[in-house]
Structure 1
Amino acid sequence: MAKLSLVGLGPGSLDLMSIRAQSVIKQADVVVGYAPYVNMVEPLIDGQKLVKTGMTKEWQRADSAIQLVQQGYKVALVCSGDAGMYAMAPLIFELLASQAINIEVETIPGITAANACASLVGAPLGHDSCTISLSDLLTPWTVITQRIEAAAIADFAITFYNPRSKKRQHHIVEAQQILLKHRAVNTPVAVVNAAYRDEQSVQLSTLESFTQLEFGMNAAVIVGNSSSFRFDDWIVTPRGYRNKYSLADGETRDGQTPGRSLNDIEFPVMSDK
């Protein structure tokens, strides 16, 4: 039966790609995608027709995938990370809605860049967090800076996608300056390039200094919140257990009740590390 499968490949290594994703690709008649992403699944290709396109050809990929399904094929449209995050799923659904096209679609989730990069540096996204792309190709820079300011004020840990390119060097510096208005200069930062790929690199720094590091579009920059701290080569953003329990013995702190809302009282700075 003709179907469009939006397949999240995760970071790119087969061992971090879901069994379901691998199965869908193997059973597809056609695999469509950005050429480097199609190349990632080469071990799964055995007779499927391949449709590869280049950078900035997202509309062409989406249109080709939809037309192939309409022609009766099972199509796997592959995306790095998760298809629904800064990838092809939103465009596919926009095209289907705007053109009133009715085809069968399924989305196969994948490990996002934020999750993959965070896993290499401990638990930097252990509490509320958000992702912000610094690419202004599709979103005005004024909107992006408003989102950075809002995330900074709300004390989210932040993963920046598309942090820097050859043409766009200053955006990450402006993002840094916005965050420095709300966070300490020693807030831990991780710059992770090409997580789980051959060219992977991990650099740990601080909010004050991280822009001096070398990185580009393939990197993700994870900035901790006001509670985040360095522990050896890890970054930890606490969930808040120390507010209710003693980390030394697990005992409930005075005035708190297990399983109940945290009482709204002032907590001293504690060091149960």
Structure 2
Amino acid sequence: MAKLYVVGIGPGGREHMTYKAVEVIKKCDVIVGYTPYIEYLGDLVEGKELFSTGMKGEIERCKAAIKIVKKGKDTAIISTGDAGLYGMAGPILELAEGIEVEIVPGVTAAFSAAAELGAPIMHDYASISLSDLLTPWEVIENRIEKAAEADFIITIYNPKSKGRKYHLEKAIGKIRSHRSGKAPVGIVKNSGRGEREITITTLDEIDYDKVDMLCVLIIGNSNTYLKDGYIVTPRGYNII
């Protein structure tokens, strides 16, 4: 019986894919995904049947993958990062009937960016997407407010788009009301890929013009600090 694999391919570079993700991609007959994500796989997709769509084609891709598996072909539907975080794992499990599904985890952009910045996520943190396509902005604002009030490290996905030019500034305003303007902020564009750009700044000094949908932001908590060019959040160990 054919199987549907929901695969997190990491932030985009081959070196950040798990061994299992690579092996699953190699064994599958068909690869389904957002067009740029399939391109990240390079020669791993050579000789395979491909099904891709552009933006906002998530459900179309999920339905296509399920249909292909029912025809007897092992299929991988891919997401960047981890398929269970803003990816295809949820929709597939909601839609799938009568097929076997396996979720293959991947390295999230938050963890990839954190490694590039140092150790900013060493304590409790919240992951929040600013995209309001599927979640009302009022809900997002409330989550930001609560996370900031609770002193969580905050990772922001989808910070800015053509249709959401000022959402990030509004979000930072909410955070700023509970946190020092000197709190460290790491901004990583194209994390895990060759064209990566890293900026370390503070809440007060964010250059909003340089932030886009390819960026992830990590905002430190009240104890986060800079050391030797790295962002560090203490876990609470007694460092001698």
TM-score range, shorter chain: over 0.9
Q: Which amino acid aligns with 2:32?
A: V
Q: Which amino acid aligns with 1:47?
A: G
Match of 1:119 in 2: 115
Q: When the two structures are superposed, what TM-score results if normalisation uses the length of structure 1? A: 0.86
How many angstroms does 1:225 deviate by? 0.3
Greater gyration radius: 1
Find 2:182's aligned residue among 183, 186, 201: 186
Structure 1: runs of 5+ lacking an equivalent: 249-273
- Number of residue pairs the alignment of both structures matches: 240
How many angstroms does 1:232 deviate by? 2.3
How many angstroms does 1:196 deviate by? 1.8
Distance in 2 between residues matched to 1:230 and 1:240, nearest whole Å: 16
Query: Deviation per CA, 1:135-174, whole angstroms, max 9, x where unpaired?
Result: 0000000000010011011110010000011221111101
Structure 2: runs of 5+ lacking an equivalent: none
Distance in 2 between residues matched to 1:236 and 1:103, nearest whole Å: 45
How many angstroms does 1:12 deviate by? 1.1
Distance in 1 between residues matched to 2:109 and 2:207, nearest whole Å: 20
Distance in 1 between residues matched to 2:180 and 2:91, nearest whole Å: 38
**Does the aligned pair in 2 maintain the 1:121–1:235 contact within 8 Å?**
yes
How many angstroms does 1:40 deviate by? 1.1
**Does the aligned pair in 2 maintain the 1:164–1:172 contact within 8 Å?**
yes
**Does the aligned pair in 2 maintain the 1:10–1:82 contact within 8 Å?**
yes
**Does the aligned pair in 2 maintain the 1:29–1:48 contact within 8 Å?**
yes
Runs of 4+ in 1 over 3 A off after TM superposition: none
Match of 2:205 in 1: 209
Match of 2:158 in 1: 162
- Between 1:183-192 and 1:13-22, the stretch displaced more is 13-22
Query: Deviation per CA, 1:200-228, whole angstroms, max 9, x where unpaired?
Result: 10001101111445010010011000010
How many angstroms does 1:102 deviate by? 2.0
| DSSP-derived class of the 2:204 partner | coil
Alignment of 1:256-267 (within 5 A): none
Alignment of 1:1-273 (within 5 A): 1-96=1-96, 101-241=97-237, 245=238, 247-248=239-240
Q: When the two structures are superposed, what TM-score results if normalisation uses the length of structure 2? A: 0.97
| DSSP-derived class of the 1:15 partner | helix
Match of 1:267 in 2: none
**Does the aligned pair in 1 maintain the 2:169–2:208 contact within 8 Å?**
no
Identity of aligned residues (%): 46
How many angstroms does 1:19 deviate by? 1.1
Distance in 2 between residues matched to 1:46 and 1:113, nearest whole Å: 26
Query: Deviation per CA, 1:31-66, whole angstroms, max 9, x where unpaired?
Result: 000011111112212321011111110011000001
| DSSP-derived class of the 2:210 partner | coil
Distance in 1 between residues matched to 2:93 and 2:27, nearest whole Å: 23
